[in-house]
A and B are shown apart, each in its own frame.
Chain A
């Protein structure tokens, strides 16, 4: 095992660049992060009916998510237990059985080996089919429609894993009755980036917005976004916050209740929906979340590789493919209660901004690829890179869980992301992984905030 004690320095906000380049470190990530953490698999809305399946990845392991006849969800390695061929080759679909292309073994949607061709003639009826069931993922659970899987039977429950992050997630997932749904086909893009660089770009890096995306801002911006201007010449730190210290999960948020839709060329429909439903959101989430967070731009990150942005309305998971490559999967996310016309507009605007030809996304890919490839240089990889902005300038805010820094421009969340990465990479199993939900919410806090606001 590689000792990562010196690769991340929390006191200076530095990371050694070898973590973006080294194959052995990557193998350790597959085991200690992707093999241990809860990973997003699919949204319930993607597998609504018995027999519906969805093919995805956990780290580099290919899995298939299947809705059972009793409506529960099972997840299996997408691999035949006989000679190891890939089982289903479709992205999704509906089926009663998974048949292997190689020798024709067929498995029921519950994972049972149902049919072995020539079972009596060549296996002499001696095969114990129970031994050859599809390999199930150890833990499967869902949170407000998001299905997660975990390879580690000793991992904490999904609820504990998410911890107080749930308080923020609920703004996106439970503000309206019916929850959310994902829209559109899976948008798949290969980026030659280390997976951590893609996550940190979204989990906390508001700094790049005005500069990297200057051209896109100029083309699409219709409203104020935390005082941002093209060319990074202005920002209003009071207009947002960076929230971390929640077991590696984090939130970047504006606080005006509308600026999630600042990058819709025409946000009329969305703003109408927000104003018509504000009272309901406040009723369900309380005044603070209902007024200040619902409708705001939120960058929500569930460690290690799920990110979604209500407002811009993209929902994304990164599948690592080696230290220098990811497959990035994106959908649009909408509240089920939204009118159809708004949902269609959300799908369209998500693709316009963050789809494969997205005006914003097409700025990020080259930066992140270049950060990755630079780290391969023998001399370069010995150097640190820094997330030291606003170091030490965070604290507690009444009524809000987590350790919080002002503004959507700080490198506060990235530091916590790398801290969590280091903690997992150091720990031999879950018993050594520290659990922390800093500044936990107490019932009286929430009440006080509601009264004060």
Chain B
């Protein structure tokens, strides 16, 4: 199922332990920034050339013989920095009524693997994000997605350069995805 995200390096190499710990902290810190709706601070962790993508998925037979879709399945998210900023602008516009009163949202980041990336200053990070949203009255919603990130070390610290997401729901079970993974 997650083959698209499962491309470990041929010989996985760990980062030096201090770098490993610093990046792991960063991954959890990033989740807390989003939980706390500190979107501008979050954008500060995003590299200028970010690709942030979540493809549409389908249920197909393993040995499916049909022709691929001419223009691909499409992406739920296919964002560069400008588009992520557009989403943040909408969330902060004060006009997204479904988010006011605010919903309680927590991201649980687990199964974190950190490996040396293809470039000397890059790390490849695999993780699973569970987004738990407690909405009006007893309404609880949950998204689960696999993530493959590339984080890049800069003079200002680690910056996110790539995030490939695989949502585990072929049918989205919530009426909105006013959220970032």
User: Which residues of A line the B interface, CB within 8 A?
Assistant: 48-49, 51-52, 89-95, 181, 183-193, 212, 214-216, 218-220, 230-231, 265, 327, 332, 340, 343-344, 347-348, 350-352, 355-357, 359, 361-369
Q: In the bound complex, do residue B177 and residue A356 qualify as a contact, i.e. CB atoms below 8 Å apart?
A: yes
Q: In the bound complex, do residue B96 and residue A52 qualify as a contact, i.e. CB atoms below 8 Å apart?
A: no
Q: How far is the CA of A185 from the CA of B89 in the complex (A)?
A: 28
14 new A-B contacts at CB < 8 Å, known A48-B67, A183-B69, A185-B69: A51-B65, A90-B64, A95-B65, A184-B72, A185-B74, A190-B174, A219-B86, A343-B71, A362-B175, A365-B174, A365-B176, A366-B97, A366-B98, A366-B175
Tell whether A348 pairs with B75 under 8 Å between CB atoms, given A92-B66, A183-B69, A189-B175. Answer: yes
Q: How far is the CA of A93 from the CA of B63 in the complex (A)?
A: 9
Q: In the bound complex, do residue B90 and residue A185 qualify as a contact, i.e. CB atoms below 8 Å apart?
A: no
Some 18 contacts from A to B, beta carbons below 8 A apart, are A89-B59, A95-B61, A187-B76, A188-B172, A189-B172, A189-B174, A351-B56, A351-B78, A356-B172, A357-B54, A357-B77, A359-B86, A359-B87, A362-B175, A365-B175, A366-B97, A366-B175, A367-B97
Nearest B residue to A214 via CB reads B95
Q: In the bound complex, do residue A185 and residue B57 qualify as a contact, i.e. CB atoms below 8 Å apart?
A: yes
A-B contact count (CB 8 A): 144
Query: Interface digits, B169-180 against A, CB 8 Å rule (1 contact, 0 not)?
Result: 011111111100
Q: How far is the CA of A202 from the CA of B56 in the complex (A)?
A: 24
Q: How far is the CA of A391 from the CA of B152 in the complex (A)?
A: 61
Tell whether A351 pairs with B64 under 8 Å between CB atoms, given A92-B58, A365-B175. Answer: no
Tell me, yes or no, whether B38 is within 8 Å of chain A by CB: no
In the complex, what's the smallest C-beta–C-beta distance from A353 to chain B, in angstroms?
Answer: 11
Determine which of A89, A91, A184, A215 lies in contact with B96 in the assembled complex, contact meaning CB atoms within 8 Å: A215
Determine which of B67, B95, B98, B173 lies in contact with A362 in the assembled complex, contact meaning CB atoms within 8 Å: B98
In the complex, what's the smallest C-beta–C-beta distance from A418 to chain B, in angstroms?
Answer: 23
In the complex, what's the smallest C-beta–C-beta distance from A262 to chain B, in angstroms?
Answer: 16
Determine which of A350, A352, A369 lies in contact with B175 in the assembled complex, contact meaning CB atoms within 8 Å: A369
Q: In the bound complex, do residue B97 and residue A327 qualify as a contact, i.e. CB atoms below 8 Å apart?
A: no
Nearest A residue to B171 via CB reads A188
| Chain A residues with CB under 8 A of B157 | none
Q: How far is the CA of A231 from the CA of B57 in the complex (A)?
A: 35
In the complex, what's the smallest C-beta–C-beta distance from B99 to chain A, in angstroms?
Answer: 9
In the complex, what's the smallest C-beta–C-beta distance from A347 to chain B, in angstroms?
Answer: 5
Q: In the bound complex, do residue B64 and residue A94 qualify as a contact, i.e. CB atoms below 8 Å apart?
A: yes
| Chain B residues with CB under 8 A of A365 | 98, 174-176
Determine which of B66, B72, B90, B94 lies in contact with A93 in the assembled complex, contact meaning CB atoms within 8 Å: B66
| Chain B residues with CB under 8 A of A347 | 71-72, 74
| Chain A residues with CB under 8 A of B178 | 362
Determine which of A94, A184, A190 lies in contact with B56 in the assembled complex, contact meaning CB atoms within 8 Å: A184
Q: How far is the CA of A429 from the CA of B58 in the complex (A)?
A: 38
Q: In the bound complex, do residue A49 and residue B66 qualify as a contact, i.e. CB atoms below 8 Å apart?
A: yes
User: Which residues of B line the A interface, CB within 8 A?
Assistant: 54, 56-61, 64-67, 69-78, 83, 86-87, 89-91, 93-98, 170-178
Q: In the bound complex, do residue A91 and residue B176 qualify as a contact, i.e. CB atoms below 8 Å apart?
A: no
In the complex, what's the smallest C-beta–C-beta distance from B152 to chain A, in angstroms?
Answer: 25
User: Interface residues of A: mostly helix, strand, loop or mixed?
Assistant: mixed
Nearest B residue to A55 via CB reads B59
| Chain A residues with CB under 8 A of B176 | 361-363, 365-366
Q: In the bound complex, do residue A212 and residue B173 qualify as a contact, i.e. CB atoms below 8 Å apart?
A: no
| Chain B residues with CB under 8 A of A368 | 175
Q: How far is the CA of A5 from the CA of B6 in the complex (A)?
A: 59
Q: In the bound complex, do residue B173 and residue A190 qualify as a contact, i.e. CB atoms below 8 Å apart?
A: yes
In the complex, what's the smallest C-beta–C-beta distance from B51 to chain A, in angstroms?
Answer: 13
| Chain B residues with CB under 8 A of A366 | 97-98, 175-176
Nearest A residue to B56 via CB reads A185
| Chain B residues with CB under 8 A of A355 | 56, 74, 76
| Chain A residues with CB under 8 A of B94 | 215
Q: How far is the CA of A359 from the CA of B75 in the complex (A)?
A: 14
In the complex, what's the smallest C-beta–C-beta distance from B142 to chain A, in angstroms?
Answer: 13
Centre residue among B65, B87, B91, B175 by max chain A CB count within 10 A = B175
| Chain B residues with CB under 8 A of A94 | 64-67
In the complex, what's the smallest C-beta–C-beta distance from A428 to chain B, in angstroms?
Answer: 35
Q: How far is the CA of A352 from the CA of B65 in the complex (A)?
A: 30
Determine which of A93, A219, A265 lies in contact with B64 in the assembled complex, contact meaning CB atoms within 8 Å: A93
Tell whether A359 pairs with B90 under 8 Å between CB atoms, given A187-B74, A215-B96, A347-B71. Answer: yes
Q: In the bound complex, do residue A91 and residue B71 qualify as a contact, i.e. CB atoms below 8 Å apart?
A: no
| Chain B residues with CB under 8 A of A216 | 90
Q: How far is the CA of A398 from the CA of B175 in the complex (A)?
A: 41
Q: How far is the CA of A344 from the CA of B75 in the complex (A)?
A: 11
Q: In the bound complex, do residue B74 and residue A184 qualify as a contact, i.e. CB atoms below 8 Å apart?
A: yes
Q: How far is the CA of A188 from the CA of B54 in the complex (A)?
A: 14
Q: How far is the CA of A48 from the CA of B173 in the complex (A)?
A: 30
Tell whether A183 pairs with B59 under 8 Å between CB atoms, given A94-B64, A215-B96, A219-B89. Answer: no
8 closest Cβ pairs, A-B complex: A365-B175, A184-B74, A185-B73, A214-B95, A362-B176, A94-B66, A215-B95, A357-B177
Q: In the bound complex, do residue A93 and residue B60 qualify as a contact, i.e. CB atoms below 8 Å apart?
A: yes
Q: How far is the CA of A186 from the CA of B76 in the complex (A)?
A: 11
Tell whether A363 pairs with B71 under 8 Å between CB atoms, given A52-B66, A216-B90. Answer: no
Q: In the bound complex, do residue B97 and residue A348 qualify as a contact, i.e. CB atoms below 8 Å apart?
A: no
Nearest B residue to A96 via CB reads B65
| Chain B residues with CB under 8 A of A359 | 86-87, 90
Q: How far is the CA of A343 from the CA of B90 in the complex (A)?
A: 26
Q: In the bound complex, do residue B76 and residue A356 qualify as a contact, i.e. CB atoms below 8 Å apart?
A: yes
Q: In the bound complex, do residue B61 and residue A214 qualify as a contact, i.e. CB atoms below 8 Å apart?
A: no
Determine which of A183, A218, A327 lies in contact with B171 in the assembled complex, contact meaning CB atoms within 8 Å: A327
| Chain B residues with CB under 8 A of A215 | 90-91, 93-96
| Chain B residues with CB under 8 A of A219 | 86-87, 89-90, 93
